[in-house]
Amino acid sequence: MKDLIYANKPEEARSFLEKVKNSKVTSLIVIASTMVSKIKGISIAGENPELTLYTPAADVEYLMLGKCLSINAIPKTPDGIPTPAIISRVCIKLTDIPCLIINAGSYIKPKIPYIEMNGRYGEDIRYEDALEISVAKRLYENAKIFIRSIINISDTFIIGESIPGGTTTSLAFLVALGYDAWDKISSASKHNPKSLKASVVKQALDRIKFNTSNSNNALEIASYVGDPFIIVTSSIVEELIDANKKVILAGGTQMASIVAFLKKNNRNIKNVLIATTRWIIEDNSSDIISLINEIHPVPIIASNLSFMESKYEGLKKYEDGYVKEGVGAGGFSCYAFLRGFSFETIEKEVEKEYERIFV
Amino acid sequence: MKDLIYANKPEEARSFLEKVKNSKVTSLIVIASTMVSKIKGISIAGENPELTLYTPAADVEYLMLGKCLSINAIPKTPDGIPTPAIISRVCIKLTDIPCLIINAGSYIKPKIPYIEMNGRYGEDIRYEDALEISVAKRLYENAKIFIRSIINISDTFIIGESIPGGTTTSLAFLVALGYDAWDKISSASKHNPKSLKASVVKQALDRIKFNTSNSNNALEIASYVGDPFIIVTSSIVEELIDANKKVILAGGTQMASIVAFLKKNNRNIKNVLIATTRWIIEDNSSDIISLINEIHPVPIIASNLSFMESKYEGLKKYEDGYVKEGVGAGGFSCYAFLRGFSFETIEKEVEKEYERIFV
C-alpha cells in the first residue's frame, strides 16, 4: 500500500496530520477569475481561453452535482483531459467532508449555492490593477467576516481553489514581494509557458513601476498584480491561524502566495500545511519545495495517486504532466488517505467516476 | 432565576433539549422578501413599506457587523422600535454559535457574505404567483444541495428568518393547505392587521381559484401564494430530519408553514422543535400552540426575556406586543439559556447593546 509523500518538513507534517486525524475537518473551495487566463497560451484550464472564465463555476457545479450547469460538459483542457475536480469529488464522497464554495470573484457565477463575497474578477494585470483597492479591501474584510461567523464549525480547514491563470498572477505577486519565483511556479500544461508568463509578469510590474521597497502592504500588492483568490484565501487563513485552527492549503505552487501574504503581514505562520499531488512535487518545470522554503518552511505533503495503469487516456495524461492539481485534488486525496482510504482505492474510484462521465 | 417556557409538549421538549445541550450546534438565518410587505399596513418590519424590502439585508448586516451597510440605521418599526436582531446578536456573541446567512430571495442583497441560492423575491400574491414554478423548484433543489454539502458540520441546526410580510404569506400558504389559520397567525404589530391580511389572502386564493383538493404538492402551493423563505427552509429541514439531525425552528407562527410543508410532503416529522419568545406565546391576537397542534404537535419552547423594567422605551415596547420575534431572537435566546446564560444576563446584555446603538 502506497504511503503519503512527505515532501518538506516530514516530522512537522506527521505531527500535524496526527492532530488532524481526530479533529473536525471542513473544506472550502475558493473560486475566482483573472482576465489573465484569456491571454492565449497562458492557461489550459478550459477548452479555449474564453472558456477558462467558465471553469471555476463549472468546477464547483460538477463537484456538488456530478455534472455542470454553466457549460455542457465538465471542464477540460484543449486536449480533453478532465478537471482534477474528479479526484476531489471522489474523495469528498468517500469522506463525507463538508464543503463550502466561496465565490471570491468568478466571472461566471455558479448555478449552485455558494458564498458570495461581493467581490469581482481580477483584471488583466498587464494593463490595469487586478482589483481596485476598495474592492480588494472589501474582499479582505468580507473574508474575515465570513470565516469568523463560522469558525467554530471545525478544528481543521482544507482550502482548495479554482482560478485559471492563477499561477501567473501568483508569480507576479511573489516577484513583487521580492521572491525569486520565476522558475518555480508550475502550470497545468505539460509545457509550462514560462517565457509567456514571465513577459506578462514583467509587463505588469513595469506598469506599476514596481520595486520591492515601495509597498509594505500585501493587500495593496495583491490588488495591483494578484487576484481575488489570493486576497480571500490569505484573509481567511490569517483568521484561522489567529484562532488556533489548523489549515491545509490544498493546492500547488499558487499556495506559496498565501504563505507569502501571511509573512508580509507579519503573521506567525503556524498550523499551516500544504497538501498537493505527486505530479506537482515531481514537476521538473517548477519547484514548490524551494519556493516555499524561500518564503517560510511550512510542511508539504502530497498524495501518491498514479494513473499510469489507467485504461483511460484522459487520466493517463496526468502522468505526462498535464493538469497536475486543482480544486483541492491533492489535499482531498491526502485527507481521504488519512481517513483510511488507500490511494489504490481512490484510483479505482476515480476510474469509475471517469467512466460514469465519459464512457 | 427564570426558566425556559415550555409551551407545548413539555416532556418531549425537555428530552430534545437534553440532547441538544451537548451536541454541536450551528445556526442558519434564511432571508427573503415578498412584495406583500409593500402593501400599506401589512408589515411594520421597517420604517415604511418601501424600507421593509431593505430589512432582511440590514438585519443580517447588523447581526454580523453590529451596524448596517444597506441602510444608515438598524431596522426599526415606524415608531422606532428596533429589530429583534439585537437579541439575536447578543446571544450569538455570548454563545459563539456559528451562523450562516442564506439568501433565499432578498430584494436587496446583503453587503456582507451570504449563501446565494439563486432564487428571487416573492411577488405580491394578490396579483401573481409568488414565484414561477421553475424558480421555486430551483430554490427547493438548491437548498438541498447546499445543506447536504455541509450536513456533517453539526448535530443540531437552529434556523431563524427575516422576511417582512412573511406572516401574511404564511397565512395564505396554511389556508391553501386547508388549515384554519385565520385567527392564529401573529404580527410584528401590537395591532395585528387581521382583516387586511385576510383580504390579501382571500384575493390570492381567489386568483388561483384555489380549493384544498386541487394540489397535492407543497412546493406548488408555496410557489402560488407562499414565499422563498417557506420553500428554502422547508427543503433544508426535510434534508436535516432525513439525516437524523435535530432542528430548532427559531421563529413564531411563520414556522407553522414549515411544519405544514413537511406534513404535506408526508415527511416523518421528528427531531423538530419550535423555539420562540414569550411575546409570541402570550400574544392574544394569535395562537401558535393551537395552530401547531392542528398541523402536527411539535414541542414549543419560549425564551423568558422581559423588558418591563428596561430604561429604554424601544425595548419596553416589546412588552406592549410590538415586534415580538424575528431573526431567530427566540431561538437564540433559548439556546443561550441552555448554554448557561440566564435570561437576566441576556436582558442586561441587550440593554448594553441598545445603549451602544442608540444612546
User: Chain B: residue nearest A66 by CA?
Assistant: B145
Tell me what the pLDDT averaged over chain B comes to: 96
The 10s digit of each residue's pLDDT in B79-95 is 999 999 999 999 999 99
For residue A63, pLDDT beyond 80: yes
* Min Cα separation A327/chain B (Å): 16
Mean pLDDT throughout B338-350? 98
Residue B298, by phi and psi: left (phi above 0), alpha (psi -120 to 50) or beta? Answer: beta
Residue B60, by phi and psi: left (phi above 0), alpha (psi -120 to 50) or beta? Answer: alpha
- Please report the number of interchain residue pairs, chain A to chain B, with beta-carbon separation below 8 angstroms: 79
Q: How far is CA A189 from CA A195, A199, A286, A291, A301, in A?
A: 13, 17, 12, 19, 22
* Residue in B109, B111, B150 closest to A100 by CB: B150
Residue A249: which domain range? 5-358
Residue A353 CB neighbours (<10 A): 18
* Residue in B109, B111, B117 closest to A113 by CB: B117
Which of B97, B78, B76, B80 lies closest to B88, judged by CA? Answer: B97
At A359 the pLDDT is 86
Which of A92, A29, A44 lies closest to A229, judged by CA? Answer: A29
The 10s digit of each residue's pLDDT in B27-71 is 999 999 999 999 999 999 999 999 999 999 999 999 999 999 999
Residue B211 CB neighbours (<10 A): 10
Is B153 in Cβ contact with A98 (below 8 Å)? yes
Is B112 in Cβ contact with A115 (below 8 Å)? no
At B216 the pLDDT is 73
DSSP tag of B45: S
CA A224 to CA B289: how far, in whole Å?
59
At B31 the pLDDT is 98
Chain B positions in Cβ-Cβ contact with residue A142 (cut-off 8 Å): 112-113
Residue written as grid cell 410590538? B322
Cell digits of residue B327: 431573526
Question: Please, what is the Cα angle at B126 between B122 and B131, to 5 degrees?
Answer: 25
Residue A178 CB neighbours (<10 A): 13
Banded pLDDT at B359 (limits 50, 70, 90): confident
- Helix segments in chain A, DSSP class H: 10-21, 55-65, 85-95, 133-150, 166-176, 194-207, 218-225, 228-242, 255-264, 278-281, 288-295, 313-316, 329-338, 343-358
For residue A214, pLDDT beyond 90: no
The 10s digit of each residue's pLDDT in B235-279 is 999 999 999 999 999 999 999 999 999 999 999 999 999 999 999
Mean pLDDT throughout B161-181? 97
Mean pLDDT throughout A209-232? 87
Residue written as grid cell 414556522? B255
Percent of chain B with pLDDT strictly greater than 90: 96
The 10s digit of each residue's pLDDT in A233-253 is 999 999 999 999 999 999 999
DSSP tag of B161: E
At A212 the pLDDT is 59
For residue B305, pLDDT beyond 90: yes
User: Chain A: residue nearest B113 by CA?
Assistant: A117
Chain A positions in Cβ-Cβ contact with residue B236 (cut-off 8 Å): none
CA A302 to CA A252: how far, in whole Å?
10
Mean pLDDT throughout A48-69? 97
DSSP tag of B47: S
Question: Is residue B299 a contact partner of residue B9, using CB atoms and an 8 Å limit?
Answer: yes
pTM above 0.95, yes or no: yes
Mean pLDDT throughout A153-175? 98
Q: Which residue has the higher pLDDT, A190 or B108?
A: B108
* Min Cα separation B102/chain A (Å): 9
Tell me what the pLDDT averaged over chain A comes to: 96
For residue B212, pLDDT beyond 70: no
Cell digits of residue B141: 433543489
At A269 the pLDDT is 96
The 10s digit of each residue's pLDDT in A81-107 is 999 999 999 999 999 999 999 999 999
At B32 the pLDDT is 98
* Min Cα separation A141/chain B (Å): 9
Is B118 in Cβ contact with A115 (below 8 Å)? no
Q: How far is CA A261 from CA A112, A221, A251, A274, in A?
A: 30, 9, 16, 15
Question: Is residue A130 a contact partner of residue A123, using CB atoms and an 8 Å limit?
Answer: yes
| Stretch (H or E) spanning B103 | strand B99-105
At B138 the pLDDT is 98
The 10s digit of each residue's pLDDT in A103-123 is 999 999 999 999 999 999 999
Q: What φ, ψ does residue B18 adopt, rounded to 5°?
A: -60, -40
Residue written as grid cell 382583516? B195
Chain B positions in Cβ-Cβ contact with residue A109 (cut-off 8 Å): 116
Q: For chain B, what is the domain count? A: 1
Percent of chain A with pLDDT strictly greater than 90: 96
Chain B positions in Cβ-Cβ contact with residue A151 (cut-off 8 Å): 98
Question: What contacts A290, CB < 8 A, 6 or more positions away?
Answer: A184
At A211 the pLDDT is 65
For residue B9, pLDDT beyond 90: yes
Is A154 in Cβ contact with B112 (below 8 Å)? no
- In the beta sheet, which residues pair with residue A272? A247
Banded pLDDT at B111 (limits 50, 70, 90): very high
At A210 the pLDDT is 72
- In the beta sheet, which residues pair with residue B162? B31
CA B321 to CA B286: how far, in whole Å?
11
Residue A37 CB neighbours (<10 A): 29
Residue B68, by phi and psi: left (phi above 0), alpha (psi -120 to 50) or beta? Answer: beta
Question: Please, what is the Cα angle at B74 between B278 and B123, to 5 degrees?
Answer: 80
> Residue A256: which CATH number?
3.40.50.10210
* Residue B266 CB-density burial (10 A; 0-12 exposed, 13-18 middle, 19+ buried): exposed
Which of A259, A237, A227 lies closest to A106, judged by CA? Answer: A227
Mean pLDDT throughout A125-148? 98
Using beta carbons and an 8 Å cutoff, which residues of A are at the interface with B? 24, 26, 64-65, 96-101, 103, 109, 111-118, 142-143, 145-146, 149-154
Question: What contacts A59, CB < 8 A, 6 or more positions away?
Answer: A29, A31, A75, A83, A85, A162, A326, A327
Q: How far is CA B321 from CA A18, A47, A285, B162, B350, in A?
A: 55, 61, 70, 18, 18
At B270 the pLDDT is 94
Burial B5-39 (b: 16+ CB within 10 A, else e): bbbbbeeebeebbeebeeebbbbbbbbbbbbbbbb
DSSP assignment string, A181-220 = -TTT---SSSS--HHHHHHHHHHHHHHTT--TTS---HHH
Chain B positions in Cβ-Cβ contact with residue A113 (cut-off 8 Å): 115-118, 142-143, 145-146, 149
Is B99 in Cβ contact with A150 (below 8 Å)? yes
Mean pLDDT throughout B109-124? 98
CA A184 to CA A188: how far, in whole Å?
13
Please, what is the end-to-end C-alpha distance for chain A in angstroms? 28
DSSP assignment string, A106-123 = -SS--SS-EEE-S--PBP
